[in-house]
Amino acid sequence: MENVEFYSLVAMCSLFAASTWCLARPHLLSSLAAAVASGLWVILNGPLEGRVLYVVTPNHGLTESDLLSAVGLCIAAWGYWYSIRARRRRQRRRPANRTGQRRPEDTRAVPVRVGD
């Protein structure tokens, strides 16, 4: 397969970009992007693996680049948790009436007649 190094670099850059997006604006879509990029990085990290940190079998082990995908999955999980928590918090603060408009007593500005 040609251009294996190029695809590995694209996967690594997408992992960094998706993780940065998820940290900057945590919501469901950015969390999904970080999780997908982490999965792609595990598949395509062959040429850029680095040193073997832990040997599982003579041909397989945990490498430095595998830790990047673990960090990316942690960022995706945090972004998902944060977005779910923020959504629940917004739902609790919604107004009670059905139209979605605020009642006049809920507003800070109170009309006052001037110049009587």
Q: What pLDDT does residue 104 have?
A: 56
- Rounded distance between C-alpha atoms, residue 59 and residue 56, angstroms: 8
Alpha-carbon distance of 35 to 21, in angstroms, equals: 12
Indicate the residue type of 10: V
pLDDT given for residue 35 in this prediction = 97
Give the angle subtended at the CA of 63 by the CAs of 45 and 59, to the nearest 5°.
90
pLDDT recorded at residue 92 = 83
* pLDDT value of position 102: 57
Which residues of the chain are modeled with pLDDT < 70? 1, 94-110, 116
Instruction: Identify any residues that bridge with 57 across adjacent strands, giving them in sequence order.
Output: 60
Which whole-number Å values give the CA distances from 110 to 20, 56, 69, 94, in the listed order? 44, 70, 54, 21
